[in-house]
Amino acid sequence: MSESKRRPLPHDYHPPVPEFTVTSTDFSAGGTLPDAHVYAAGNLSPQLSWSGAPAGTKSYAVTCYDPDAPTGSGFWHWSVFDIPAEVTELPTGAGSGDFKGLPSGAVQVRNDYGTRDFGGAAPPPGDGPHRYVFTVYAVDQEKLGPDADVSPAVVGFNLRFHAVGRAQLIAEYENS
């Protein structure tokens, strides 16, 4: 997919909020998403660490979104929220469906694969590189509000009104 045809990021439509930092030991910003995080290979959520969230942060949410998916609405690979404010890292594989890697109280909703876990990269063959946008949101309340049965779009709607900060890390993956 050419740079000029890339679609906007989901938070391009949200009000501006302070930025903070998110990193991963599994991939670097602007790099290629490793096979461990590809649907047909390892299908593991990557390790994420964050710091510098603004004052007033009472919880976090983490999402992974592919704005370049040929759907007209992108593709949600992961959406988890109500991560307690004292948690500033998720280990590799935290987004598996067994919830063992997530802190107590965190809520994970279904992705666009229809499963309640992290669903790895899987762009159509020959569609060019897709961006995988991992976003950590600092949230102004301990509980965002929705339950585990909502869609990632409903989570995003609530984050639009309750995010007090945002950090993002983007990697690419291409299925040649």
* Number of domains present in the structure of the chain: 1
Q: What angle do CA 80, 69, 125 make, to 5 degrees?
A: 120
Q: What is the 3-state secondary structure (H, E, C) of 96-150?
A: CCCCCCCCCCCEECCCCCCCCCCCCECCCCCCCCEEEEEEEEEECCCCCCCCCCC
Q: Give me the pLDDT at residue 1, please.
A: 46
Q: Which two tokens stand for residue 147?
A: 């339950």
pLDDT higher than threshold 90 for residue 2: no
Segments forming the whole domain that contains residue 51? 3-173
Give me the residues paired with residue 167 across strands: 136
Q: Which two tokens stand for residue 176?
A: 């040649």
Helix (H) or strand (E) holding 168: strand 163-173
Q: Give me the pLDDT at residue 10, please.
A: 79
Mean of the per-residue pLDDT values for the chain? 94
pLDDT higher than threshold 50 for residue 4: no
Give the chain's count of helices (H) and strands (E): 1, 8
Q: Are strands 130-139 and 163-173 parallel, antiparallel or unpaired?
A: antiparallel
33 pLDDT band, cuts 50/70/90, is: very high
pLDDT higher than threshold 70 for residue 3: no
CATH of the domain at 132: 3.90.280.10
How far, in Å, CA of 90 to CA of 60, rounded?
Answer: 11
pLDDT higher than threshold 60 for residue 22: yes
* More reliable by pLDDT, 138 or 4: 138
Percent of the chain with pLDDT over 90: 87
pLDDT tens, residue by residue, 55-75: 999 999 999 999 999 998 999
Q: Which two tokens stand for residue 58?
A: 């009472």
Question: Which class for 73: exposed (0-12), middle (13-18), buried (19 or more C-beta within 10 A)?
Answer: exposed
pLDDT tens, residue by residue, 110-161: 999 999 999 999 999 999 999 999 999 999 999 999 999 999 999 999 999 9
pLDDT higher than threshold 60 for residue 170: yes
Q: Give me the pLDDT at residue 5, please.
A: 60
